[in-house]
């Protein structure tokens, strides 16, 4: 990506406030290089919000010749973590970033963190509390009133050391005791009111197994891990702003080998979706979607399966920028980034999603012509493709109207249109079944318009439509998606966010008629169905039936796809 001229870099002057700070630190000699980290908790798949943080942290490493660590924040022993650890690495690589040899786990530092807890106890700065979680919460006070000291706060260093060692040795049940930092129960910042730093949990840990039954709290682990890895700038989202004084307190009171600086930025929010991993997990577990990689999910794996290019996600993250303002971005911005990339890269094909048969009565019964068509008008190197033309074709049902209103210029009785790279055809007759439904259109073509060229008499038509030769069509399944939630802010209502789920977010078209070349598109590749949108080949295909996911409409056809769905 270093060849991407729009990428953030010190040289193009395109800077956010974090890069300003970094450049000042480099200029003043405070740091000779940058070390950042991306610290996911392996309790779910990554989503588009994480992409913002990934692009920032890895982007800084690229822009300043520094490095970015991938550190799993696994201080919380929960189930199924291996699957998440794998998927997170796959997603970051797919986004185009690399941590080199710098893969770490917070659990790698459990021994060191334990020693530092002992250090605090020895300094009289931590104590074992026998109170229940509830008692601790009740005595914490609030923004108006100070908290109350724990009755166990003045235990001797010797007693604290002994009890903490017993905690580690598994002498107590989960939740029976905790280790707290001894700071100030009247501090205006609640995070400094003797925060819990170690808790007992007898669950199995995905990496350390049953080696530990005490685990450091996030706040006691994060800054220290940063210091151990010589992170220079520890970038996190705004909800950690109030934790920064505690982050600094630990660094001030422990013999850490380096001094990282925490800087907060606002998280990415998108309308029409939810972003918390807990809620995404609920969507998966309750089968509201087919899995973490369901193309309607805001997960990286879902967007990938939907056909969103990594480049578009990076561009989107760059466009929204890095600030401290809380805001919600329009999903349309992300969709536009996708269109911009796919317009340049996607090969064009014709596909008919709602077919109606057209018979060209003056075209020889067994003649087939290979029509030349442009593969991608945006990419001259892509060259030409051949599309078979024959007497019987399919066109979209909504490209024909028997009784057209004034502004409808496509096919109707007596009207002529251009078939893309085919011929001009005129509709002579409409065939209906007993129920009065149109089953077939009888048309004639003008042989002088081969390739869709204007005829010598200068006659013009007002519309060009797409088509697929009936005899050559590959049948495929096409999945058209609408937003997963009908509400712009699914979390705003009184009820559950699940109430905002759009019941019609997936429409499956079982027998779409596809240009033959579409049978050979490898899974993961995106193409344009001319006049309809961008579609991505799905791995979930059978031997002879491709499956395509609608990635995004061509801007002006979204309304049409929706209208078809509702009718």
Binding site for ligand ATP (CB under 6 A): 39-41, 49-50, 52-53, 73, 236-237, 267-268, 275-277
450 is annotated as an active-site residue: no
**How crowded is residue 112: how many other Cβ atoms within 10 Å of its Cβ?**
14
Q: Among residues 51 and 346, whose Cβ is nearest to Mg ion?
A: 51
Beta strand 103-105 with 416-419: parallel, antiparallel or unpaired?
Answer: unpaired
Is 237 near Mg ion (CB under 5 A)? no
Q: Which of 41, 83, 392, 491 is catalytic?
A: 41
Distance CA 440, CA 429 (A): 9
Q: Which of 15, 140, 259, 267 is catalytic?
A: 267
Q: Among residues 49 and 77, whose Cβ is nearest to ligand ATP?
A: 49
Q: Among residues 73 and 293, whose Cβ is nearest to ligand ATP?
A: 73
Q: Among residues 45 and 529, whose Cβ is nearest to ligand ATP?
A: 45
Which of 367, 350, 359 has the alpha carbon at shortest distance from 425?
359
CB of residue 74 to Mg ion, shortest distance in Å: 11
CB of residue 283 to ligand ATP, shortest distance in Å: 13
Distance CA 424, CA 445 (A): 6
Which of 25, 102, 53 has the alpha carbon at shortest distance from 261?
25
Is 440 near Mg ion (CB under 5 A)? no
- Using CA atoms, how far residue 320 sits from 311, 486, 491, 559, in Å, is 14, 24, 22, 26
Is 41 near Mg ion (CB under 5 A)? yes
Q: Among residues 275 and 331, whose Cβ is nearest to ligand ATP?
A: 275
Q: Among residues 167 and 236, whose Cβ is nearest to Mg ion?
A: 236
90 is annotated as an active-site residue: no
Candidate segments 35-43, 113-121, 335-343, 534-542, binder of Mg ion by CB under 5 A: 35-43
Candidate segments 19-27, 41-49, 119-127, 187-195, binder of Mg ion by CB under 5 A: 41-49
**Burial grade of 65 (CB within 10 A; 0-12, 13-18, 19 or more):** exposed
CB of residue 418 to Mg ion, shortest distance in Å: 56
**Locate tokens 């999945």: which residue?**
479
One DSSP character per residue, 143-186 reads: SSS-----TTTT--HHHHHHHHHHHHTT-S-TTS-EEEE-S-TT
Q: Which of 182, 193, 261, 277 is catalytic?
A: 277
**Locate tokens 């800077």: which residue?**
15
CB of residue 450 to ligand ATP, shortest distance in Å: 54
**Locate tokens 């914490």: which residue?**
140
Residue 358's binding partner among ligand ATP, Mg ion, none (Cβ under 5 to 8 angstroms by kind) is: none
342 touches 367 (CB < 8 A) = no
41 is annotated as an active-site residue: yes
CB of residue 289 to ligand ATP, shortest distance in Å: 16
Is 201 near Mg ion (CB under 5 A)? no
Distance CA 422, CA 453 (A): 8
Q: Among residues 231 and 356, whose Cβ is nearest to ligand ATP?
A: 231
CB of residue 218 to Mg ion, shortest distance in Å: 7
Residue 118's binding partner among Mg ion, ligand ATP, none (Cβ under 5 to 8 angstroms by kind) is: none
Strand intervals (E) in 433-493: 438-446, 464-465, 468-469, 474-481
Which of 137, 82, 138 has the alpha carbon at shortest distance from 105?
82
- Using CA atoms, how far residue 108 sits from 111, 407, 418, in Å, is 8, 68, 67
Per DSSP, helices labelled H in 132-276 are 133-138, 157-168, 218-228, 244-253
Is 491 near Mg ion (CB under 5 A)? no
CB of residue 280 to ligand ATP, shortest distance in Å: 7
Which residues are catalytic, by number? 41, 267, 277
Q: Applying CB under 5 A, which residues contact Mg ion?
A: 41
């Amino acid at each position: 990506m270093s060849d991407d001229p729009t990428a953030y870099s010190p040289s193009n002057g395109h800077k956010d406030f974090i890069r300003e700070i970094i450049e000042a630190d480099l200029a003043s000699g405070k740091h000779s290089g940058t070390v950042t980290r991306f610290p996911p908790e392996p309790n779910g798949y990554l989503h588009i919000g994480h992409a913002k943080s990934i692009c920032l942290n890895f982007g800084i490493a690229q822009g300043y010749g520094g490095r970015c660590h991938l550190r799993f924040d696994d201080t919380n022993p929960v189930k199924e973590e291996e699957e998440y650890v794998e998927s997170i690495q796959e997603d970051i690589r797919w986004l185009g970033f690399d941590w080199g040899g710098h893969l770490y786990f917070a659990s790698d530092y459990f021994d060191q963190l334990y020693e530092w807890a002992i250090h605090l106890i020895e300094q009289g700065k931590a104590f074992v509390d026998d109170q229940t979680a509830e008692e601790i919460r009740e005595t914490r006070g609030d923004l108006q009133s100070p908290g109350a000291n724990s009755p166990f706060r003045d235990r001797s260093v010797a007693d604290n050391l002994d009890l903490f060692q017993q905690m580690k040795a598994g002498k107590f049940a989960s939740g029976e005791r905790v280790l707290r930092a001894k700071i100030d129960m009247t501090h205006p910042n609640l995070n400094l009111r003797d925060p819990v730093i170690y808790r007992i949990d007898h669950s199995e840990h995905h990496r350390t197994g049953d080696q530990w039954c005490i685990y450091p709290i996030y706040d006691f682990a994060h800054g220290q891990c940063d210091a151990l890895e010589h992170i220079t700038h520890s970038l996190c989202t705004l909800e950690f702003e109030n934790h920064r004084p505690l982050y600094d307190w630990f660094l001030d009171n422990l013999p850490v080998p380096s001094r990282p600086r925490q800087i907060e930025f606002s998280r990415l929010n998108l309308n029409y979706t939810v972003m918390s991993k807990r809620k995404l997990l609920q969507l998966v577990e309750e089968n509201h979607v087919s899995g973490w990689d369901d193309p309607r999910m805001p997960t990286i794996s879902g967007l990938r399966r939907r056909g969103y290019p990594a480049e578009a996600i990076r561009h989107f993250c760059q466009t929204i920028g890095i600030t401290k303002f809380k805001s919600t971005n329009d999903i349309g911005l992300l969709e536009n980034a996708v269109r911009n990339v796919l317009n340049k890269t996607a090969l064009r094909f014709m596909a008919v999603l709602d077919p109606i048969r057209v018979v060209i009565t003056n075209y020889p019964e067994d003649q087939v012509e290979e029509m030349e068509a442009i593969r991608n008008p945006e990419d001259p190197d892509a060259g030409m493709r051949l599309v078979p033309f024959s007497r019987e074709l399919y066109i979209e049902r909504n490209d024909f109207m028997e009784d057209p209103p004034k502004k409808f210029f496509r096919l109707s009785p007596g009207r002529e249109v251009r078939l893309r790279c085919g011929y001009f055809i005129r509709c002579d007759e409409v065939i209906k079944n007993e129920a009065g439904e149109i089953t077939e259109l009888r048309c004639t073509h003008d042989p002088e318009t081969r390739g869709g060229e204007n005829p010598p008499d200068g006659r013009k038509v007002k519309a060009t439509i797409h088509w697929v030769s009936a005899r050559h069509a590959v049948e495929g399944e096409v999945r058209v998606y609408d937003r997963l939630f009908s509400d712009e802010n699914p979390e705003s209502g009184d009820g559950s966010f699940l109430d905002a789920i759009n019941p019609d977010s997936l429409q499956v078209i079982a027998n779409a008629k596809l240009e033959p070349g579409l049978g050979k598109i490898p899974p993961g590749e995106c193409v344009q169905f001319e006049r309809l949108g961008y579609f991505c080949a799905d791995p979930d295909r059978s031997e002879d039936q491709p499956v395509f996911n609608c990635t995004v409409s061509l801007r002006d056809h979204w309304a049409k796809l929706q209208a078809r769905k509702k009718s």
